[in-house]
Chain A
Amino acid sequence: MKRAKAFLSTFLLALFVYLSLTLAAGMPEYSMAPEEPWSQIIWSFEEFVLGISVSLIVASLVDHILCRTEDFRMMNPVRWGIILVYSIPLFIEMAKANLDVAYRIITGKIEPAIVKIEPDLESDLGLTFLANSITLTPGTLTVDIDDKKSEMYIHWIKIGEDPTENIAGRFVKWIRRFAE
């Protein structure tokens, strides 16, 4: 049963990526009726057959890699919606980060340190998201993760007070909503 669920989720993900990449790719360009724009976004039958067979091969090869833990919380589409909403605060933080790094490139004022934070997240997905978010935001870069004790080592370009709260606090409460 677990194997079947892992197989099915890998298959659906692979099929989704394949279909989004081949969207309207096999269509003759100017033959569709221009008054119906949505009739152009459609797959041909051959596209479906090829996509399903490739996804079956992929799913049979890598399902034990994608679903390593027996945990299928991410099958829930609500969590994917929360990831989309999360991209908005992440983008704002990224814009701030880039202005900050641009300022430091021009003036050269740095005071780097490697600090330890304890974000208290359990799942691998949550830690991965947190590490990537930290790397993309103000003056911080993940150097190492201890996933057993849930500790992260962060290179901070300008050292400040209370690293756990200042670096990870903004993201942890978002990431708990979809990954824990």
Chain B
Amino acid sequence: MTWPMMVILILLIISVIFNALGTIGLHRFPDVYTRLHAATKCTTFGTIFMTFTVMAYSIRRYVIMTDGTKFLNMAIHTFVALIALLITNPTGAHAIARAAHKMGIKPEKAVKDDLEDKESEVS
């Protein structure tokens, strides 16, 4: 086993572990907001590591093969997928959180709620 293979395997294992943590957090936390914490952060991070893995793998294939144009192409496309993920995922989480708050779901065990105070001042 060579060292580039080790690096790629370690990246892949980190990705799978963080995806697993996100999935467990989705079932373990009590309300919508904390579930969003687990789901958004852990799965985004895991998928980012998956793109890193595929980029490292395809660059490695491009280096060791003389005719591996396809793999360089794959690395660039994976980078575009990474940027799409980084822009869309937190924005989607933000939209869900706002919708949940406007639906009237209170954060469970909350100590303080500034947004609630502001909304009751306006109305």
Contacts and interface: CB of A to CB of B under 8 A. Distances in A.
Of listed A101, A116, A132, A157, residue having the most chain B CB within 10 A = A101
Interface in A25-80: 25, 27, 29-30, 32, 34, 40-41
B80 interface: yes
A34 B66 contact: yes
Contact of A136 (B18, B33, B41, B109): B41
Could you say which interface size class chain A belongs to? 35 or more
> What's the dominant secondary structure at chain A's contact region?
mixed
Interface stretch (B2-10, B53-61, B68-76): B68-76
Interface residues of B, number: 46
A160 to B, nearest CB: 11
Interface stretch (A3-11, A105-113, A168-176): A105-113
A65 B103 CA distance: 29
Interface in B65-117: 66-67, 69-70, 72-73, 76-77, 80, 86-87, 90-91, 93-94, 97-98, 101, 107-116
B115 A116 contact: yes
A110 B69 contact: no
A21 B74 CA distance: 10
A179 interface: no
A161 to B, nearest CB: 12
A132 B116 CA distance: 22
Nearest to B73: A24
Contacts of B113: 113-114
A14 interface: no
A144 interface: yes
